[in-house]
Amino acid sequence: MIVVMKGGATADQIAAVVGQLTKMGFKTHLSEGVERTLVGAIGDKTNFSGDPILCLDGVMEIVPIRRPYKLVSREAHPRDTVIKVGSLAIGGDHKLLVMAGPCSVESREQLLETARACRAAGATILRGGAFKPRTSPYAFQGLGERGLEYLAEARAELDMPIITEVMDSEDVGLVARYADIMQIGARNMQNFTLLRKVARTGKPIMLKRGPSATIEEFLLAAEYLLSEGNTQVMLCERGIRTHENAYTRNTLDISAVPVIKRESHLPVIVDPSHGTGKWYLVGPMAKAALVAGADGLMMEVHPRPAEALSDGPQALLPDTFSRLMAELSELKGVLHRYALQTVGV
């Protein structure tokens, strides 16, 4: 449920509401807007009576949250969430945000060469897998901590935050020591034990949609993260499994972007590399994602895709990535100007 405070409610009045809800066994979440403050309350309402809350000074009304995902819902948090990673803001602005790098960290030389090319082209965050979930147990599984060390070296040289995947609960502490953003991969979207443990690190998290997950299941998985008190969560659409398997690796669900933006306040990232599995589809789908309202993109880049140890067919060459970044920057400028015109600025 949501406790709606009156306009001009004081900090003491809001604190009194939070204190009363806490005594009644609820977890609370504040959403402070320009006109009024909302206090989200999550917990068992079986024997709940609203009278102790409604009689407090500054309270206007109590509104039930209809969605099964409470903290993730835009009902509970009408304004877009903006996640801070150092000086970088993710969500809620008009800047082009791109996470780029190799699917797997294969060597120090390969990572640094790729990272430098991505940075020169305008990428803002470096991606790279140190631990790789693979369909076959015989495929390359990543370099582990050595890969994390190479990512940290690239961050220091290029001043780029790094995002990397954590696969196992036992590795959460290790990955958290290196990563600026913790990625939960598609295969682990509903690994609830892992979700809770990663959330408790307090690190920003990117949660990828499972290959067969509905949008509601996706948002409920994100609810696990927020229920642990971590509000620095972004969602990544990376394609879903459909009957098509000849021309694309997955089916990139572009329609999920505006649906999730309507349902939730969390930033939405789109991964057209995993979403299609074909390098020549990455550019068109990246552009479509921006038009649909995505807050950022994640793309794979490799200096020699034919030699890549994982996902070479979907990786962009550095020159191709550089040209695409120029096109995306121009498109983002057009979309920004259009947005200003529609609101009359």
Residues 55 and 91 in one domain: no
Residues of the chain short of pLDDT 70, as ranges, are 34, 94, 134-135, 138-139, 340-345
Residues 237 and 293 in one domain: yes
Residues 246 and 314 in one domain: yes
Half-sphere exposure of 265 (CA within 13 A, CB side): 20
> Is 68 a member of any domain?
no
Distances from the Cα of 38 to the Cα of 14, 19, 23, 69, 161, angstroms: 9, 14, 18, 17, 32
Q: Model confidence over 96-135: pLDDT tens digits?
A: 999 999 999 999 999 999 999 999 999 999 999 998 776 6
Strands 83-85 and 88-90: antiparallel
Residues 14 and 149 in one domain: no
CATH code of the domain containing 47:
3.30.70.1140
| Of 3, 27, 5, 16, nearest in space to 229 by CA | 27
Residues 35 and 124 in one domain: no
> Is 69 a member of any domain?
no
> Is 297 a member of any domain?
yes
Residues 254 and 288 in one domain: yes
Orientation angle between helical segments 192-199 and 215-227, nearest 10 degrees = 40
The residue segments making up the domain with residue 108 are 83-342
Quote the strand ranges of 153-199, DSSP E. Answer: 162-165, 181-184
Cα 153 to Cα 156: distance, rounded to the nearest angstrom: 5
* Secondary structure (DSSP) of 256-315: HHHHHHHHB-S-EEE-HHHHHS-HHHHHHHHHHHHHHT-SEEEEEB-S-GGG-SS-GGGP
| Of 172, 253, 182, 240, nearest in space to 211 by CA | 240
Residues 15 and 131 in one domain: no
Which residues contact residue 217 at a Cβ distance below 8 angstroms, ignoring those fewer than 6 apart?
189, 190, 210
Residues 181 and 55 in one domain: no
Query: Would you state the pLDDT for residue 344?
Result: 56
Residues 36 and 169 in one domain: no
Residues 92 and 55 in one domain: no
Residues 38 and 182 in one domain: no
Distances from the Cα of 152 to the Cα of 100, 157, 306, 318, angstroms: 15, 9, 26, 21
Instruction: State the total domains in the chain.
Output: 2
> Is 72 a member of any domain?
no
> Is 215 a member of any domain?
yes
Q: Residue 312 burial by CB count (10 A; 0-12/13-18/19+): exposed, middle or buried?
A: middle
Residues 90 and 39 in one domain: no
Query: Would you state the pLDDT for residue 16?
Result: 93
